[in-house]
Amino acid sequence: MTERQTVATVSVIIAAYNAERYIAQAIDSVLAQSHPCVECIVVDDGSTDGTADIVRGYGSRVRYLYQENAERSAARNNGMREASGDLISFLDADDLLAPEKLAEQAAFLAQHPHYDVAYSRVSYFNDEDGSSFTPQRRTPSGDIVAELLYGNFITIHSPLIRRDAAERAGGFDPARNRYEDWEFLLRLALTGARFGFQDRLHAKVRLHPGNTIGDQVKMFEAKLRVAEGVVEEFAEELARRSVDARGLVAFHKADYGRILVLAGRCREGRALIREAVRVSFPHRKIFVAFGLAAGLLGSGLLVAAQQLYDRVVKGKRPAKGGSA
C-alpha cells in the first residue's frame, strides 16, 4: 500500500438547508465510511429548523459551518475553502454514501495517478414506498469533454475529486441553482481533469417532494443556460477541440423546446425548435419531428416523436456536432 493510500484525507462536504428530517442519515453514512481518514463538513445554508442542533450534536466528529442563505453552490464552495482533505466528495443532506465509497475511490485514484476524478454508479430510491432503481448511463473514462457537453451522466455524489483539480476548475458557479453540478463537472473536464469510472454502486439519491428534480421546464431551461455559458467562457478551448459550439447550443435549445412541447407550451417550444434546426447538430431530424408533431397532438405523432427521442438520443449521444 502506498503512502498516499494510507494517509490521504477525504473531505466530504454536505450542503444543508432546513434538512432536519434527513441530515442525521447523511452524516451517519459519512461517519460509517471504511476509509480511515474522513473529514465531514456540514455547511448550513441559513436553515431555520433544527438542522444546526442536530449537526452540533455530533460534536467534534463533524465540522459545522453556517452561512446566510446563498444556495447550494455557494455552500459547497464555502465547504471546499474550509476543507483540509487532498480529496473532495460532495453529498446533499438528504442522500447517502455507501460505506466503502471513499476507501475504494481513494485507492483507485492512488493506483491511477493520471486520473483526477473517480466516479461510479448511483441508485435512486423513493422515500415513500422504498422502491429503487439504478440508471444505466454512459461511463467513459479519460478525457470525457465530448460526451459531457451533450448532457450530464454523473450525479454529483458519485465523484471523488482531487482537490487541486477542483480548485483549478474554480468551484461551483454561485449564480446557478439548477444544473450547477453539470456546469462544475464541465469546468473540471475543460480545465484538464481526467475521469476514471469504477463499476461500483457508491451512493443513493433520495426522491421525495422536497428535492428539486421535478420541474422539468425550469431544469431544461437551466441546462440551456449552462451550455450557453460554457460556450462563451471556454470558446478557445472548444475551438481547439473542434467542437461545433453553435451546434452544441442548438442541440440544448431544441431539447428545451421539446420539454416545452411536452409541457403543453407548444407555441414556445416549436419556436425554439425552429430556431435551433436552422443549425446542423446531433439528431436534428428528431427535433424537427417534435416541431411537426407539436401541431398535430391528436394524431399521436408527439408520442411517437418522444419514443424516437428516447431510443436514439438517450441511447447514444454523438461526441460532436453534426447532422442527424
What's the pLDDT score for residue 300? 55
Contact partners, residue 192, CB within 8 Å, separation at least 6: 116, 165, 168
Q: If you average pLDDT over each of 95-99, 255-259, 267-271, which comes out highest?
A: 95-99
pLDDT of residue 310: 65
Tell me: pLDDT of 5 over 60: no
Q: Are 280 and 323 in contact (CB under 8 A)?
A: yes
What's phi and psi for 41, nearest 5 deg?
-120, 125
98 in Cβ contact with 28 (< 8 Å): no
Interaxial angle between packed helices 284-293 and 301-312, expressed in degrees from 0 to 180 and rounded to the nearest 10? 160
Predicted pLDDT at 282: 81
What residues contact residue 14 under an 8 Å CB cut-off, 6+ apart? 23, 26, 27, 30, 40, 41, 42, 43, 79, 90, 91, 92, 93
Side-chain-side CA neighbours of residue 262 (13 Å): 18
What are the pLDDT digits (tens) for 183-225? 999 999 999 999 999 999 999 999 876 554 448 899 999 999 9
pTM equals: 0.88
d(CA 266, CA 260): 6
Sign of the torsion formed by the C-alpha atoms of 70, 203, 38 and 192: negative
Question: In this model, does residue 317 exceed pLDDT 60?
Answer: no
What percent of the chain lies above the pLDDT cut of 70? 86
pLDDT at 1: 46
Q: 123-135: per-residue pLDDT in tens?
A: 999 877 778 888 8
Residue 181 CA to residue 176 CA, distance in Å, equals: 9
Alpha-carbon span 35 to 4, nearest angstrom: 12
Note the Cα 111 to chain centre separation in Å. Answer: 25
Report the run of H or E that residue 275 belongs to, with start and end: helix 266-276
> Where is average pLDDT lowest: 2-11, 124-133, 153-162, 284-293?
2-11
Q: Which of 216-220, 224-228, 315-319 has the lowest mean pLDDT?
A: 315-319
Neighbouring-strand partners of residue 124? 133, 205
**Burial of 25 (C-beta count, 10 Å sphere; 0-12/13-18/19+):** middle
CA distance 33 to 25: 13
Closest CA to 91 of 25, 12, 33, 162: 12
Residue indicated by cell numbers 477542483: 166
At residue 297, does pLDDT exceed 70? no
Query: Taking CA 53 as the corner, what is the angle to CA 49 and CA 58, rounded to the nearest 5 degrees?
Result: 140
Instruction: Say what the pLDDT of residue 291 is.
Output: 74
pLDDT at 132: 84
pLDDT beyond 60 at 62:
yes
- Return the percentage of the chain with pLDDT > 90, whole number: 73
Sign of torsion over alpha carbons 238, 239, 243, 247: positive
- Cα Rg of the chain (Å, integer): 21
- Domains (ranges, CATH) in the chain? 3-207 (3.90.550.10), 216-312 (no CATH)
How far is Cα 27 from Cα 89, in angstroms, rounded to an integer? 13
| Separation CA 119–CA 141 (nearest Å) | 9
Cβ burial of 287 (10 Å; 0-12, 13-18, 19+) is buried
In this prediction, residue 133 carries a pLDDT of 87
Give residue 64's identity as a one-letter amino acid code. Answer: Y
Grid cell, residue 293, equals 408533431
